[in-house]
Amino acid sequence: MKNTIIIAIALLGVATSACAQTINWQAFKPEQKNSLYLQTGWDYSMNFGAGYGRKFDTKLFPVMANIEYSFPAGERLFDDFKVRIGGQVEVVRLGGFSATAKVYSPIRRYENNLVTLFNFGGEFSGVLGFYKQKWFVAGEFGFDKAIATHVKHSERALDNYDGLQSGWYVPTGGNWFYGLQTGFSFGGNDLTLKAGKVTSQGWETSPFIPYFAQLAYQRRF
């Protein structure tokens, strides 16, 4: 039981939610195939991130593949991190209305005084909204699952709790996330803002602060 409790508490800091690249498909010009973006916000803690995206115009749908790196604020900035690899596809466009599907594979590391966690998982979400070349507003709903987590307990934890076992645990925690997002585009630049709420996969528990928010700047070229 104690082992389970420690894993559950630690996963509150590692199974973080949304905040992948936010796109206004209508703002992209035909010659713009790349994007660089910086972002900051609250997602269990204050965090910062950067990413790169590459746009592909297929015969059916526009696709954005991207990779991003983020880390929480703290004394040691690069001990905890999240790397997200994946992309998103605009699956429907009817006038100004658009629907986007996102699929990502997050890789995360989290450490506290009791345990060090390293995990990988899957993140899936859908975005539906109204888009114009200079602005948009949309809603997003998704699920973030930590598929497998490696747990390494500290000496302090081993001294205080009997029976702790380090190793791989499958499966581990997951979260639902949902919220609103908006943005403004000018030239080759985008400013985007999103905010929402996180809850556990069983809809029974939430983090101490169950809300997330993100401000991002993106340069298209």
Q: What is the tens place of the pLDDT at every residue in 166-215?
A: 999 987 778 999 999 999 999 999 999 999 999 998 888 887 889 999 99
Q: 3 and 161 in contact (C-beta within 8 Å)? A: yes
Q: How far apart are CA 79 and CA 15, in angstroms?
A: 16
Phi, psi of 162, rounded to the nearest 5 degrees: -80, 145
pLDDT at 18: 53
The answer to whether 96 and 70 are in contact (CB under 8 A) is no
Average pLDDT over residues 87-107: 97
Whether 5 has a pLDDT exceeding 60, the answer reads: no
220 in Cβ contact with 28 (< 8 Å): yes
103-128 average pLDDT score: 94
Q: What percent of the chain has pLDDT over 70?
A: 90
Evaluate if residue 216 carries a pLDDT over 90: yes
- 142 — pLDDT class (breaks 50, 70, 90): very high
Tokens 């035909």, located at residue: 30
Amino acid letter for position 213: A
CB 221 within 8 A of CB 34: yes
Spatial distance between the Cα atoms of 102 and 65, rounded to a whole number of angstroms: 10
What is the Cα 34 distance to its own chain's centre?
A: 20
User: Dihedral sign, CA of 16, 196, 122, 168?
Assistant: positive
- How does residue 54 score in pLDDT terms, banded at 50, 70 and 90? very high
The mean pLDDT of 94-115, rounded to a whole number, is: 94
Asked if 146 and 181 count as a contact pair (C-beta separation under 8 A), the reply is: no
**Average pLDDT, integer, range 123-148:** 96
The least confident of 57-61, 74-78, 166-170 is 74-78
Q: What is the CATH number of domain 2-220?
A: 2.40.128
The yes-or-no verdict on residue 6 having pLDDT over 70 is no
Helix (H, G, I), strand (E, B) or coil at 44: coil
Confidence of residue 1 (pLDDT cuts 50, 70, 90): very low
> What is the spatial distance between Cα 132 and Cα 134, in angstroms, rounded to a whole number?
6
What DSSP designation does 27 have? G
Query: Chain centroid to CA 116: how far?
Result: 20
Site of tokens 């590391």? 109
Whole-model pTM: value is 0.87
Cis check: omega of the bond before 72, within 30 degrees of 0: no
Q: Domain residue spans in the chain?
A: 2-220
Q: Which pLDDT score is estimated for 17?
A: 53
